[in-house]
Structure 1
Amino acid sequence: MTYRYRIYPSLEQETRMLSWLETCRSVYNYALRERKDWIGSRKCQIDRCSLQSEYIIPADAPYPGYYPQKKNLTQAKKVLPHLKDVHSQVLQDVLGRVDASFEAMRQRGHGFPRFKKFGQYRSFLFPQFKTSPVQGNQIKLPKIGWVPITLHRPIPDDFDIKTVRVVRKHSGWYVVLCIQADVSIPEVPPHGHSIGIDVGLEYFLSTSDGEQIARPRFFNKLHRKLELLQRCLKRKQKRSNQRAKLIQRIGRVHEQIAASRLDWQFKLAHHLCDQAQTIFAEDLDFRIMAKGMLGKHTLDAGLGQFLNVVLPWVCFKRGVYYVKVDPNGTSQECPDCGARVKKDLSVRIHECHECGSVKPRDVASGQVINARGLSGVQIASGRDLSGFQVTDARQDRTKLEYFKSNLEKPALYA
């Protein structure tokens, strides 16, 4: 688990931490440039030259991976003495970030890592502690000293602090404590009352029980204030103190928007856990929705944050079973008779031509999600939970394969 607390460093400590961030940024950019030059020297073909100038690196030169760069860091400290001021493990974690970004590019299809501009490197990590650095209302950071901390919630007993990340935000300095305990938590089985939830933009959430929750517009509430501040920012001289102060004010407004959104989503997740012990949701990729014409509203609602981060974590804490189901055709199917009722996005009322069922479209979709979830759990576990009859053999096999793959994962990551 991770806990975040506010810290209040002195002027001397803050100056030192800012210099650490800039040193980490320079190490990050140098390591990234070293890898890009090695890759660029291998892209040029034998019979032609590259359109860009590339460094000529010997063919037998090894790839500058994590461990070679980590070894060269010791030699770099002899040439650049200011690197010795930063904690050694903090600099090693910077090289780990570079390596993780290249792994993400290869495995998950992310773009090529970018260089960090001035002020874009905002955190550094202490990856190891022998004893707890928190004593009373202070935390001891290596080479920085004792820093006052606001423990707004106590650290649980029998939990050890593994890592401490120092984060710089526009509102101040924070520490993120990663705590761990040697306990085994059993997976939550499906039990109790179940609901299916359908998320959208007209209504943020609609449940299979008929409850519909409107989408709060967090960005629109402070849109005018941001517009005025950014208009003033355009007239400020670059690299001036007034421009830096205005950028900090704008950042605080964005933090206020994000904090209000996260607080509302946590309260909504607890509200859902009070109603049911089993929750089913659609397995959607909201990155596609964020690129469409309604992308601004999708990002403002934070649908992906709610379904992928907030709700699984609250369900894990509350002992509620949470799993995602196949999203294909949930809004085109009648929850009462199973008939296929085609309708576009402009049609917000579900009207079945077979059984005559009439209800809101999102509520009908939530009931279909709930039925799919219960049928999938029933097929995978062999228990009768819902009485829902699957009549299509092809649909039966598809749901069996899908839910077996989901039931193998812990409920927290489902």
Structure 2
Amino acid sequence: MLTMTYEYKLQPTPEQIAIMEQTLDVCRSVWNFALRQRKDWCASRKSPVNACSLNCEYIISTDEPFPNYHRQAKQLTDAKKQYPELKTVHSQVLQQTLRTLDRAWDDMRARGFGFPRFKNKYRLRSFVFPQLGKDPIRDDALKLPKLGWVKWRLSRSIPDGFEIKQARVVRKASGYFVALSLQLDVNIPSAMPHGHPLGLDLGFDKFVATSDGQEIKRPRFLTTLQRKVELLQRRLKSKQFGSNNRHQLNQKIARLHQRITDTRKDWHFKLAHHLCDSVGMIFVEDINFVAWQRGILSKHSADAGFGQFFKILEWVCFRRNVYFAKVNKDGTSQTCPNCGSHTGKKTLDVRVHYCHECGYTTTRDVAASQEIRNRGIAALGHSVVENVCGLEATGSIGHNTLVGTGRSRKLAS
């Protein structure tokens, strides 16, 4: 089963914009009420049996079951009789809001996330239509429930044979967009290992270093506009809550952040296509980027968008028939890619790799990327018979010549 998501810009009328804003407000109210109900149920059971809670808690009967999705969906049906504004929104849209909350609640318990957040009008920005009607697409418009035909920019045609499974309407700073989930009942095999192998090592100074000796510096997407963002946010403190001036300033800040996000994503796609040129295999480290954003370099990690880049790179490799695989990240900078000997732990200020066993010298990041490539090839059961950087390290940055005769021994998988 092949699934893709295509995003298009909507051009709604003022009446359709009002309906979409009303839908977002109702979805936000349903989300906040359902989340409050779940948190009250948990809070009523956290107090010991022999003591009173230090905070004021609702007293909920002990035999009251947990308000899961199915119970809250049934309560939502009953609430429409008391609150007519709930009927203005498509029923499946509200059900999808409860499903999203239920999924976030499960992630909190299974993946160690925090409590889902309450949403204000700036946080909840999208809603989902899980089903569309018959023939909902025209060249100039898309038919959505409760909205009718909405004009859009068909920036790229939908591939033949794909079925539209759902549509997500998203409100961004630059307007309204729709993300269509396309599905085709076909199994496409992944790319097989072939061609020239390439190892990649990510870092904060150099965004990526390749096993061919190329080092690409990390653009500072946020840093270049950080002063402007700080000035706008400083002005935001003096604006009254709920005022039009505060709302307009929030929109200006959002447009600036969207500009940063779009620039970063565009650069990631261009870099992914550049790396896929003239290679058949790409190997990367299996890294937990969530942990990277919890340290002292959290802002720089978020600005670089390493996790997004890996997802984009994997997708580009799939589209261009390039084999993509992840390898173990432990000790890549402590192993010589030329002879395989352990060089010892290096501090972050040591940027040059030198092996006392074979005398191989190169930059630290390039050596790590070459070791990543070697591990990827070893996992495939092949052998490394060429120099660590091929015949000649053309295009390398920071060093001119990479010495060494290459690792000639067999690397078993």
Note whether the superposition's TM-score is higher than 0.5: yes
Q: Secondary structure at the match of 1:135?
A: coil
In the alignment, is residue 18 of structure 1 matched against residue 21 of structure 2?
yes
Among 256, 259, 268, the alignment partner of 1:256 is 259
Q: Distance in 2 between matches of 1:225 and 1:114?
A: 28
Among 275, 278, 283, the alignment partner of 1:280 is 283
In the alignment, what sits opposite 2:211? 208
Deviates more, 1:204-213 or 1:109-118: 109-118
Q: Distance in 2 between matches of 1:236 and 1:63?
A: 41
Deviations 1:329-355 (A, max 9, x none): 111111111122232110111111111
In the alignment, is residue 386 of structure 1 matched against residue 384 of structure 2?
yes
Note if contact 1:230-1:250 (Cα within 8 Å) is conserved in structure 2. Answer: yes
Return the letter of the residue paired with 1:181: L
Q: Distance in 2 between matches of 1:220 and 1:135?
A: 42
In the alignment, what sits opposite 1:28? 31
In the alignment, what sits opposite 1:105? 108
Deviations 1:271-326 (A, max 9, x none): 1111311110111112222222222222111112112x111111111111111111
Among 194, 198, 201, the alignment partner of 1:191 is 194
Shift of 1:85: 0.5
Among 308, 315, 318, the alignment partner of 1:316 is 318
Note if contact 2:220-2:304 (Cα within 8 Å) is conserved in structure 1. Answer: yes
Among 114, 118, 121, the alignment partner of 1:115 is 118
In the alignment, is residue 221 of structure 1 matched against residue 219 of structure 2?
no
Deviates more, 1:158-167 or 1:32-41: 32-41
Note if contact 1:283-1:324 (Cα within 8 Å) is conserved in structure 2. Answer: yes
Which structure shows the higher helix fraction? 1
Note if contact 2:132-2:145 (Cα within 8 Å) is conserved in structure 1. Answer: no
- For structure 1, list consecutive stretches of 5 or more residues without a partner in the other structure: 379-383, 401-414
Return the letter of the residue paired with 1:283: D
Q: Distance in 1 between matches of 2:222 and 2:196?
A: 35
Q: Distance in 1 between matches of 2:280 and 2:94?
A: 45
Report the identity percentage.
52
Note if contact 1:162-1:177 (Cα within 8 Å) is conserved in structure 2. Answer: yes
- For structure 2, list consecutive stretches of 5 or more residues without a partner in the other structure: 386-407
Among 346, 349, 353, the alignment partner of 2:349 is 346
Return the letter of the residue paired with 1:357: Y
Q: Distance in 2 between matches of 1:275 and 1:90?
A: 46
In the alignment, is residue 299 of structure 1 matched against residue 302 of structure 2?
yes
Return the letter of the residue paired with 1:89: Q
Q: Distance in 1 between matches of 2:245 and 2:55?
A: 39
Q: Distance in 2 between matches of 1:72 and 1:244?
A: 34
Q: Distance in 1 between matches of 2:259 and 2:135?
A: 31
Q: Distance in 2 between matches of 1:385 and 1:182?
A: 38
Alpha-carbon RMSD: 1.6
In the alignment, is residue 175 of structure 1 matched against residue 159 of structure 2?
no
Aligned counterparts, 1:76-115, within 5 A: 76-115=79-118
Q: Distance in 2 between matches of 1:139 and 1:158?
A: 18
Shift of 1:385: 4.7
In the alignment, what sits opposite 2:68? 65
Shift of 1:219: 1.3
Return the letter of the residue paired with 2:61: P
Shift of 1:31: 0.9
Q: Distance in 2 between matches of 1:236 and 1:54?
A: 34
Among 229, 232, 235, the alignment partner of 2:235 is 232
Deviations 1:205-261 (A, max 9, x none): 111111111111111222232233223323333322122111111111110111011
In the alignment, what sits opposite 2:332? 330
Return the letter of the residue paired with 1:386: V
Return the letter of the residue paired with 2:266: D
Q: Distance in 1 between matches of 2:273 and 2:10?
A: 29
Q: Secondary structure at the match of 2:115?
A: coil
Shift of 1:390: 5.9
Deviations 1:157-185 (A, max 9, x none): 11111100111111111111001111110
Note if contact 1:132-1:160 (Cα within 8 Å) is conserved in structure 2. Answer: no
Note if contact 2:384-2:410 (Cα within 8 Å) is conserved in structure 1. Answer: no
In the alignment, what sits opposite 1:53? 56
Q: Distance in 2 between matches of 1:68 and 1:234?
A: 41
Q: Secondary structure at the match of 1:162?
A: strand
Shift of 1:151: 0.9
Note if contact 1:286-1:304 (Cα within 8 Å) is conserved in structure 2. Answer: yes
Q: Secondary structure at the match of 2:380?
A: helix
Q: Distance in 2 between matches of 1:45 and 1:82?
A: 40
In the alignment, what sits opposite 1:377? 380
In the alignment, is residue 159 of structure 1 matched against residue 157 of structure 2?
no
Shift of 1:187: 2.1
In the alignment, is residue 141 of structure 1 matched against residue 144 of structure 2?
yes
Shift of 1:130: 4.0
Q: Distance in 2 between matches of 1:339 and 1:69?
A: 60
Normalised to the residue count of structure 1, the TM-score between the two structures is 0.90
Q: Secondary structure at the match of 2:194?
A: coil
In the alignment, what sits opposite 1:2? 5
Deviations 1:131-173 (A, max 9, x none): 2422121011111121110111111111111100111111111
Note if contact 2:194-2:281 (Cα within 8 Å) is conserved in structure 1. Answer: yes
Note if contact 1:194-1:278 (Cα within 8 Å) is conserved in structure 2. Answer: yes
Q: Distance in 1 between matches of 2:81 and 2:240?
A: 39
Q: Distance in 2 between matches of 1:152 and 1:38?
A: 47
In the alignment, what sits opposite 1:410? none
Deviations 1:34-70 (A, max 9, x none): 1122222222222211222222222222221111111
Q: Secondary structure at the match of 2:222?
A: helix
In the alignment, what sits opposite 2:364? 361
